[in-house]
Structure 1
Amino acid sequence: MKTLSQPLFQISSAKFVVCENPKISHRKRIESTVEFNEKPKNLSWFASLPSCQVIHKSLPLVVSVSLLLSASPAKAGIMSGFPGLESIPGPQLPQIDFLNRINEENQKKYAEADAKFKSSPILKELLERSKLKKEKNRQEIQDKYCLRGAEWGVGDCSAEGMSPEDRENFIAMLKQKAGMK
C-alpha cells in the first residue's frame, strides 16, 4: 500500500527549451536545466520577449492538464463500502408499561374524536357548501370566457355569423348572465 507522502511520479531533472531569441541572427536556442522543486535561475529576462510571452503564460496550464491526465484515481480506503451509521439499528429501549397504556388511551381518544368530527352535521354542511360554491365559481368563469369569445368573435360563443342586431342582443344576454349589467 502506497503512503500519501510518496509522489506518484518522480522528475529529477529535465532540459527545457525556454524559447528562441528572434533578435539573434543564428537562432541560438536558450536552454536551461531545471531541477524538480527548485526555482530556475536567471530566466526572468526571457519573459519580455514577444515570442516567449505566449509560452510563458500557457506553461502553467499545460503542466496542470498533464498532471490531471496522468494522475491515478484516489482510493477511499477503510471507509469505502461502509453504508453509514443510519443503517445500523439502535439499541432497544426499555418498554415502560404505564407510558404504553397512556399512549394507547390517547390513540383511542384521537380516533374517536376524528370519527365524531367526520360524522358531524356541521362538517357535512360545510362540505356541501364548498361543492356548491365550486360549481358556481366554475360556471361564472365559463360565462365570462363565453362573453369574451363573443365580443372577440372567437371560440364556441362566437357571434361572427349573426347580424349586428342579433350580435348585440346575444352579448347583452351574456353580460346579464355573467352579472356584468
Structure 2
Amino acid sequence: MGADAGILSGFSGLESIPGPELPKIDSFTRFNEENQKRYAENDARFKESPLLKELLEKSKLNKEKNRQAIQDKYCIRGAEWGVGDCSAEGMSPQEKDEFIAMLKKKAGVE
C-alpha cells in the first residue's frame, strides 16, 4: 500500500519555493493607495447613507414580524394538537374551537 504513493510523496513541491520579487513601481503604488483611499471614503459614505439605514431598519422589522408569525403558527398547531404552551387541553370542544379561531384571527390566518 505505502509503496504505491510514489517516490515524491514526501516532496514539498514547487509551490513552497518563493517566486522572484517583483519590482515595485512608484506610480502603480501611488495609484493603488489612491484607490484604497477612495474605496474607504465610498464605503464610509455608503454606510452612512439614509437608504442603507432605511433598508437595515426594514430588515430588522421584517425579522421581528417573521419571528412573530412563526411563533403564531406553532401556537395554533400546538392548540390544534393539544401540546405545548398554547395547548387547548382541558377545554370543551366549543372553547377549543373558539380559542383556535381567536389565535388564527390574531395571526391573520383564516
Matched, 1:161 2:85: no
Matched, 1:133 2:24: no
Matched, 1:113 2:45: no
Normalization by structure 2: what TM-score?
A: 0.88
Number of aligned residue pairs: 108
SS in 2 for 1:162: coil
SS in 2 for 1:122: helix
CA-based RMSD of the aligned residues comes to 1.9
- What percentage of residue pairs aligned between the two structures are identical? 72
Distance 2:49 2:43 in 1: 10
Normalization by structure 1: what TM-score?
A: 0.55
Shift, 1:80, TM fit:
5.8
The one-letter amino acid of 2:51's match is I
The one-letter amino acid of 1:108's match is K
Higher helix share: 2
Which of 119, 123, 145 lines up with 2:74 in the alignment? 145
Higher strand share: 1
Matched, 1:98 2:27: yes
Return the structure number with greater relative CO, CA threshold 8 A, min gap 6. 2
Distance 1:154 1:81 in 2: 61
Distance 2:39 2:84 in 1: 53
Shift, 1:82, TM fit:
2.8
Rg larger in structure: 1
Q: Which runs of 5+ in 2 are unaligned?
A: none
Q: How does 1:1-181 map to 2 (within 5 A)?
A: 73=3, 76=7, 79=8, 81-181=10-110
Q: What are the Cα deviations for residues 82-124 of structure 1, in whole angstroms up to 9, with x where unaligned? A: 3111111100111111111111100100011011101112111
